[in-house]
């Protein structure tokens, strides 16, 4: 994807890389999920900001010897008894469908890369210039 502007400055080209955001077989929350834990507490998916009103999200950060970086694990526990709960998921129906979003634009003036600020200046000059 690209756009070309011509002016006194020459040719300004703006190029966008299209980024592939296709999901590869991901899972989405199963809204039908309904589970009762060992203490008899019921857990379910809620279509509100608080997706799992009966669960608390726990995090743990640990150092990974394989990639020499920190990883964060997160999991849900029952708010009442602390049992680890795995909310139900189902395969994403959109998985595998091709989806693209425009990435960061690149600006080129007569073939030379320039900064976004410079490009904005040039375009600003152009719109205020004589027609």
**The one segment of 3-11, 15-23, 44-52, 60-68 that binds Zn ion by CB under 5 A:** 60-68
The structure tokens 């590869």 sit at: 24
**The one segment of 2-10, 45-53, 81-89, 107-115 that binds Zn ion by CB under 5 A:** 81-89
In the complex, the smallest distance separating the C-beta of residue 80 from Zn ion, rounded to whole angstroms, is 5
62 near Zn ion (CB under 5 A): no
104 near Zn ion (CB under 5 A): no
Work out the burial of residue 43: count CB atoms within 10 Å of its CB; fewer than 13 is exposed, 13-18 middle, 19 or more buried: buried
Q: Which residues are registered as beta bridge partners of 58? A: 75
* Cα 98 off chain centre by: 16
Give the C-alpha separation, 107 to 90, whole Å: 42
SS3 111: coil
In the complex, the smallest distance separating the C-beta of residue 41 from Zn ion, rounded to whole angstroms, is 3
In the complex, the smallest distance separating the C-beta of residue 49 from Zn ion, rounded to whole angstroms, is 22
Residue 24 or 67: the one with the smaller Cβ distance to Zn ion is 67
The token duo for 45 is 């998916």
Give the C-alpha separation, 119 to 105, whole Å: 11
64 near Zn ion (CB under 5 A): yes
Residues that bind Zn ion (CB under 5 A): 37, 39, 41, 64, 66-67, 78, 80-81, 83
């Amino acid at each position: 994807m690209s756009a070309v502007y011509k002016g006194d400055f020459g040719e300004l080209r703006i190029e966008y890389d299209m980024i592939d955001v296709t999901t590869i077989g991901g899972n989405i929350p199963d809204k039908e999920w309904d589970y009762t834990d060992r203490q008899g507490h019921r857990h379910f998916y809620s279509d509100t900001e608080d997706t799992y009103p009966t669960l608390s999200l726990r995090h743990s950060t640990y150092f990974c010897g394989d990639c020499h970086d920190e990883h964060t694990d997160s999991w849900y526990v029952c708010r009442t008894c602390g049992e680890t709960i795995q909310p139900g998921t189902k395969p994403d129906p959109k998985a595998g469908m091709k989806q693209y979003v425009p990435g960061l634009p690149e600006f080129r003036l007569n073939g030379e890369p320039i900064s976004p600020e410079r490009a904005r200046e040039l375009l600003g000059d152009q719109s205020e210039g004589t027609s």
